[in-house]
Structure 1
Amino acid sequence: MSPASKAASGASDWRDVPLAPIVLLFGPEDYLASRARENLRAKLRASDPELELSALEAAQYTPGALAMVASPSLFSEPKLIEVSGLSAMTDDFLSDAIAYLKDPAPDVTLVLWHSGGTRGKKLLDALKACGAPRIECQALKKDQDKTQFVSHEFLAARRRIDNAAVRALVAAVGANLSELAAACQQLISDTDGLVGSDDVDKYYGGRVEATAFRVADAALAGNAALALSSLRHALATGVDPVPLVAALAMKVRQVAKVFAAHGSSAQLARELGMAPWQVDSARRDAGRWTSEGLVAAIKALALADAEVKGASRDPVYAVERAVTLISNSARR
């Protein structure tokens, strides 16, 4: 979600959860919900190290449990109550939570995690009406969102990473957000200075996605020797031809999208559903291509896609032929 969209919806950033009596975490991405909870715990413990932490499961809730854990303790320590499973909450929890909103306990912070869906809409509406901060924990599905995530991880650590390295890291480990975050932390801990694509390749170059994009980058650049040597290395280490063809197809589609397009990188990124750095990269590749060459590459990839998925007895030959044709079609 963009900063403007967050402001319009009343949502706050999971990296900086505001202190409030009641906070809603909304969305299915458990990693972001976990980071938001950690952020809030750290803030509360900084104010009072004696913070008392309690956890409830809304899907297995018994009547009166919320009031019991929210009641003052013997020494009146501040409390943090974390409730998960709101998407499957019991009717008893729904009733108790709505009642609690009308009279929150003093010195208590209540954090509610709803992973999505329509269950408990009455409670969600009540939380909105009372002004409780809402922290969006939506899955990061687009590469643009994942690249922003990586950039922010390095920015928060006061480290620099170049655009090529960001792209390589997302390609290598971007399928799972917790893995992507762990990869960021490993590079931050184990490297010095500016993190480049060579650093990413050192740690994650063996991943299927990274290997596939290395082949695709060389092919689109017209470097047949590097493309084929990278391809043969990938195949020798067990990479399946299917993701190799998929990476090639994605790169060629991006070049085709920007081939005759005009406008700034930001403008085209919005119009074409790409990240600005993807637009810039595709434009650099497009300078090596003619419209006839792109048509030939698209046809070769369509054939290769069918062959690696069962239409040919030799999928390895199919992907090698496609890589060779694409590499030779680009203008050096």
Structure 2
Amino acid sequence: MEVTNVFGRVVLVVGPESLLAERAVDALVRDALVERPGASVNRVSAVDLDAGRLAEVTGGSLFASDTIVVVTDLADLAHDLVDTVASFATQPSDELALVLVHPGGNKGKGLLDRLKKAKVATRDCPTIKAWELPQFAVAEARALGGRLEAPTAATLVEAIGGDTRGVAAAVRQLIADSDDRHISETDVHRYFAGRADVTSFTVADHVMSGRRDEALGALRWALETGVPPVLVTSALASSLRSQGRYSDLAGARVRDAEVAQQVGVPPWKVKDLARHSRDWTPRGLASALQLVARADAAVKGAASDPAFALEQLVIGVAAQRGRRPEAGMGR
């Protein structure tokens, strides 16, 4: 096993894709334990740190002077600890392997800039875009010693939805249950066709296609099987925004693959957007997004009955489909 030198330095794991971040952290901890098997491991959220606790977790223990420390949620680090944490990068301790995990974004950017200026080792964990998920699934299968063709991967993503963890778990399950470690279209349909009928994205697809009654049925079944209400509003908002971005590209002479990348959807989704574009005006999309925003607030606590709020959302958004601009008003 090739072991990187983890002790005596700081490693920054940065980016919003939590699955990739967790894998990077686990790999670093494994490398550090191979390097120094007797080291202690401390995992702590920056939210829970004060000066005393930081000194405690980074100072070793009575039984192990070598210490591996993983600090998550770095964006929430108290301001008065920024200098102390930054000092680990410029004055590293040979007995400490410090892994700092930051989700990216502007919060806590001052510390990030200082760490990068100190040239700490960095593991980037960018968001896996929707159009990249089939490729991600193929790579997951390959990493597990299996085989998955791109068209089948696209079918799997369509069934699972845009959740990276869900896609990874599905690939792992299919590989484990396959005698030859090859995931076929038949395998995907056998395991996940039923699940596709109850995902939040299926509800959204029914709404975008004008199938209101099917959307309501799928919504009720999804909620009964434990799909969180907030995922429904998120999926519908994502579908509406994708449709809006596609509308902005109307008339542009670009290939479907380029459209998919600009809109932020997998290539197979472009045909759906093209078909739906005949029924969704910019005004209708804007009105629908306002309804989603209100429903999102409702399911996050502003309403006593999230299921009712979602049913009203489905009915309200479906009503925006096909509405033409009023006389005298532009699109």
TM-score range, shorter chain: 0.5 to 0.7
Query: Shift of the alpha carbon at 1:98?
Result: 2.1
Aligned to 1:166: 153
Aligned to 2:15: 27
Query: Shift of the alpha carbon at 1:187?
Result: 0.9
Report % sequence identity.
28
Indicate conservation of the 8 Å contact 1:23/1:134, yes or no.
yes
Aligned to 2:183: 195
Indicate conservation of the 8 Å contact 1:257/1:272, yes or no.
no
The code of the aligned residue for 1:160 comes to R
Q: Structure 1 residues 277, 84: closer, same or farther in 2, change over 3 A?
A: same
Does 1:179 pair with 2:166?
A: yes
Query: Shift of the alpha carbon at 1:118?
Result: 3.6
Q: Structure 1 residues 19, 277: closer, same or farther in 2, change over 3 A?
A: farther
Q: Structure 1 residues 179, 266: closer, same or farther in 2, change over 3 A?
A: closer
Aligned to 1:224: none
Q: Structure 1 residues 62, 47: closer, same or farther in 2, change over 3 A?
A: same
Aligned to 1:136: 124
Query: Shift of the alpha carbon at 1:168?
Result: 2.4
The code of the aligned residue for 1:43 comes to D
In 1, Cα distance between the equivalents of 2:39 and 2:26?
13
Query: Shift of the alpha carbon at 1:72?
Result: 5.3
The code of the aligned residue for 1:172 comes to A
Indicate conservation of the 8 Å contact 1:147/1:167, yes or no.
yes
Indicate conservation of the 8 Å contact 1:48/1:78, yes or no.
yes
The code of the aligned residue for 1:150 comes to A
Query: Shift of the alpha carbon at 1:93?
Result: 2.2
The code of the aligned residue for 1:56 comes to V
For 2:70, what is the secondary structure of its paired residue?
strand
RMSD of aligned Cα (Å): 4.8
Query: Shift of the alpha carbon at 1:311?
Result: 7.0
Q: Structure 1 residues 214, 108: closer, same or farther in 2, change over 3 A?
A: same
Q: Structure 1 residues 308, 53: closer, same or farther in 2, change over 3 A?
A: closer
In 2, Cα distance between the equivalents of 1:84 and 1:98?
15
For 2:170, what is the secondary structure of its paired residue?
helix
Indicate conservation of the 8 Å contact 2:130/2:162, yes or no.
no
In 1, Cα distance between the equivalents of 2:106 and 2:239?
40
Does 1:85 pair with 2:73?
A: yes
Q: 1:259-298 residue pairs with structure 2 within 5 A?
A: 266-271=257-262, 273-276=264-267, 282=271
Q: 1:105-124 residue pairs with structure 2 within 5 A?
A: 105-124=93-112
In 2, Cα distance between the equivalents of 1:146 and 1:127?
31
Query: Shift of the alpha carbon at 1:75?
Result: 6.6
Query: Shift of the alpha carbon at 1:128?
Result: 0.4
In 2, Cα distance between the equivalents of 1:248 and 1:114?
28
Indicate conservation of the 8 Å contact 2:47/2:77, yes or no.
yes
Q: 1:292-307 residue pairs with structure 2 within 5 A?
A: none
Query: Shift of the alpha carbon at 1:256?
Result: 9.7
Q: Which has the larger radius of gyration?
A: 1
Does 1:98 pair with 2:98?
A: no
Q: Structure 2 unaligned runs (5+)? A: 224-231, 289-311, 323-331
Aligned length: 273
Q: Structure 1 residues 252, 271: closer, same or farther in 2, change over 3 A?
A: closer
Q: Structure 1 residues 70, 30: closer, same or farther in 2, change over 3 A?
A: same
Does 1:310 pair with 2:315?
A: yes
Indicate conservation of the 8 Å contact 1:18/1:133, yes or no.
no
For 1:184, what is the secondary structure of its paired residue?
helix
For 1:83, what is the secondary structure of its paired residue?
strand
In 1, Cα distance between the equivalents of 2:113 and 2:239?
46
In 2, Cα distance between the equivalents of 1:44 and 1:278?
43
Q: Structure 1 residues 198, 17: closer, same or farther in 2, change over 3 A?
A: farther
